[in-house]
């Protein structure tokens, strides 16, 4: 579903970077750096979705070859959460992408650290149409993380 429909915005008003598995690839980061530095974007939303094919492939171990640039980060999440569902992995993958953006050395990370850019995440439930908020990870992926640990509610900026 087009993000303009999901967010009820007129076509052409959102700067959208789409990549399978919503990974923060070098090309995606460069596009987002442009959006922040040249266009003054102040909000980035990392949007994953339920029943994601890229997450399903990564969870099945399809992590190398021509899929490696997008699958490797998702495979890391899937390996850290072996008992998790595809949708749980997809949600944590959104959090990993958010953390990658926040830690980025380019304009995106600089603006986030300076408080000029908000990075938010959501998982779009394709069955219900709902957007479920995903909080940013406070640290890089911990491979000992238990998928049964509840994800804390997002904190509102003060």
**Topology of domain 3-134, per CATH?**
Beta-carbonic Anhydrase; Chain A (3.40.1050)
HEC readout, 106-156: CHHHHHHHCCCCEEEEEEECCCCCCEEEECCCCCCCCCCCCCCCCCCCCCC
For all residues of the chain together, what is the average pLDDT?
86
Tens digits of residue pLDDT in 88-104: 999 999 999 999 999 99
Q: What is the pLDDT, as a whole number, of residue 140?
A: 55
Q: What is the pLDDT, as a whole number, of residue 32?
A: 97
pTM, 2 dp: 0.82
Domain ranges of the chain: 3-134
Q: What is the mean pLDDT of residues 61-69?
A: 86
């Amino acid at each position: 579903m087009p993000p303009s429909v999901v967010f009820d915005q007129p076509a052409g008003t959102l700067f959208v970077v789409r990549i399978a598995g919503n990974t923060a690839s070098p090309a995606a980061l460069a596009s987002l750096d442009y959006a922040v530095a040249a266009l003054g974007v102040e909000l980035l939303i990392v949007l994953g979705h339920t029943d994601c094919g890229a997450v399903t492939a990564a969870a099945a171990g399809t992590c190398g070859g021509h899929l490696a640039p997008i699958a490797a980060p998702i495979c890391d999440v899937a390996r850290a959460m072996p008992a998790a569902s595809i949708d749980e992995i997809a949600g944590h993958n959104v959090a990993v992408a958010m953390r990658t953006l926040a830690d980025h050395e380019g304009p995106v990370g600089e603006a986030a650290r300076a408080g000029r850019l908000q990075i938010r995440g959501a998982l779009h439930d394709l069955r219900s149409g709902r957007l479920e908020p995903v909080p940013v990870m406070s640290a890089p992926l911990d491979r000992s993380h238990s998928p049964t640990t509840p994800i804390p509610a997002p904190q509102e900026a003060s």
